[in-house]
Structure 1
Amino acid sequence: MFETLRTQPPDKIIELMKLYADDPREGKIDLGVGVYKNPDGVTPVMRAIKTAEKRLWEDQTTKAYVGLIGDPAFNDAMVALVMGDAIERAQVASAATPGGTGAVRQAFELARMANPDLRVFVSDPTWPNHLSILKHLKIETVPYRYFDNATGTVDVPGMLADLEQAKPGDIVLLHGCCHNPTGANPGAGHWREIVAVLKQSGATPMIDLAYQGFGDGLEADAAPTRLVATSLPETLIAVSCSKNFGVYRERTGALMAVAQDTDRVAALQDNLAYLNRQNYSFPPDHGARAVTMVLTDPELRADWEAELEDMRTGMLRLREQLAAELRARSGSDRFGFIAEHRGMFSRLGATPDQVQRLRDDHGVYMVGDSRMNIAGLNEKTVPLLAEAIVKAGV
């Protein structure tokens, strides 16, 4: 039977990680893999998480399964973190998932159950795994314009024009903040325009919220999601705890389905539980339990928020430093958009040849579309990167 199988195309980011690991040069810079790193190049266990895990180790008396949707306290805490007071808890169905990727997968599955002829409108570009999962599920994708390479900003007119083509039964996939891979985000006024187009089209929004707290702060980063969820009849929200809690390997996430009509919530909740059962039965709990402890303990939460804010502002300082170094070396402000982007990523606008030149000549590793992870830098490597970018002719 297995003679029919063929090898899959290599994952570009995983391939890049191997190339970086095999490079013997001491001055190499890894801007490819999408994880936060501190100035020492370490992805740390956050202080509050470490404390929560210690308490969990001391107090936990069983490793028995949790329910199909995970610990109810985790779902309550995550809904409160994302939605604040914008939506009543009774309007939200929620289930724990294995990371944000699990939430994205379950959201696509749920939407296809509701509409077998589902189309998903996806920003061009988007996180590659969005497209990979949709292809695997054989769900039709429709790209919409998003990023203007010339200016490093969101192509709002193009985006809105393309989204006008959506119709009832379609899903429009949006990044809640810190767009991956570009780092460019719509402004508050643009979000209101997006909501107006969605209202007119009748399409259902799905928000991938993987970086809350990494952009402009926890509340500011949640504002677009809250606007969408309070303005439209139904909204799907896929949430990841990997970045803002640093629990990457614990696979901690949640899928939320918001309905203005509370009569629909019971059926949504039942279907979320059903999908969990079909795909992995009971979701992971260790990371979710630690996150719940952090969010519900005032001391731990204050410490977590303080460390998260340090991470966020540190990335902003790196952006500003890189933009300034590039301005000084290039004699122009054409890279000023880097300071305006938010989150871990920016799309530099380099050609594949220039990206290859950065790798071969300067040991700078970034994804082929020139997405770079700002969190892979520190104060010492920023000038080296700026010099390499100019020398590579970007």
Structure 2
Amino acid sequence: MTDGSRDLYSRFLLIWFGQFISIIGTGLTIFSLGIYVYQQTNTASSYVFILICAFLPPLLLKPYGGILADRYDRRLMMIIGDLGATLGLIFIFYMMLDGNIELWHIYLGIAASSVFTAFQEPAYKALITDLLPEAQYAKASGLMQLASSAQYLISPFLAGILLTVIDIEFIFLIDVTTLVIASSIVILIKRTLGKVTIQRPKQNLMADFREGFQEFSRNKGVVSLVITTMFVLFFVGLLQSLFIPMLLNLTTIKAVGISQSICATGILLGSLSIGLFGSKNKHVTTLSFSLLVSGIFFAGLGLSMNMIFVTLAGFMFFATLPFINTSIEVLIRRNIDNRKQGRVWSIISMVTYLGSIMAFAVAGFLADKIFNPLLVLNGPLAETVGLIIGVGEGRGIALMFIISGSMISVVALMIRQNQKIGQLEDTAGQIG
């Protein structure tokens, strides 16, 4: 690594650290609010609606955020995104202090904050390609996955402790502080690094969007990979939205936080492995195998009511995610023109987020109205499936996890047979 590359990598690490602590703050807010809302309503639907508010605005706005990330300084877009996200948190904090907080206040505040991630996330992803040479993409991606894991590794455990000594509204102030720190680091890097020497065309927003969509759609392998990812994220979205409600029917809030943190340790170990050693060149093979294994452990989450078994299955499932995400990111990053990556990443995020949004839209209904009633005491499946996975509140969610994990393993086998995805390995590195 040359001195110039080492200096750029050091700057990337500073930016990464800022995002790392801001993700911890976001995790504190999401976990605390999720527990608060579920306790108030005792329905999966109300809990899932928090996730809808967090994911739907970025889905709708990210194409424009990506365009702006290609037209303007990507570091400036990150600053705007981080500082803007504090507004919704401050609103929730004020309403709780006022003593008149209602559910719609929480949903509105989360939605307002998430709007600004539409500007921050595409710029953050594209900035990596600005700062680093191709040889460091996999390491950077691994570290980014490590930062993402903090929301599940550190935040639940920390939130469980903090909620015993402070009121929930002060969790939002911690989140605001972390966002300010993250934006301050980017401001510092922006001042010391100067302008990034990448030429970007000046044209209207719709022309930029069309150009980004054309860049995305011209590579059939990328399109096929993104659609496959969307399909997988539908099932992962069911896990994301229903895992905590299932656990709350098995144990205490404190134990839920500990279990989720232990599960996320798997992401930590996988991300550290990639961050320190990189990943092998056969990313399609790594993706297929990792998806196959992840599906098996996903299904394992629903097989038992024993918290040790569930936590171990969750740990193994999360350990596969960094290898899946890194393989997908590297295959896409190496096949897309850097000058258009902000726009393309925003389109890719929009498409893949559809899987999660569809899961969030139906998860509460499927759990509360269809699957959970099947496995209550004397339910239609209590004497068949219930003999294997147990009966009671939340066991319908467990059945959903078994089905979802099985489907992910099927997708993994299909990737091995997809020639368009396989060609991404052969053409990687040929895009300027």
Compute the TM-score of the two structures, normalised by the length of structure 2.
0.25
When you count strand as a share of all residues, which structure comes out higher? 1
Q: Which has the higher helix share?
A: 2
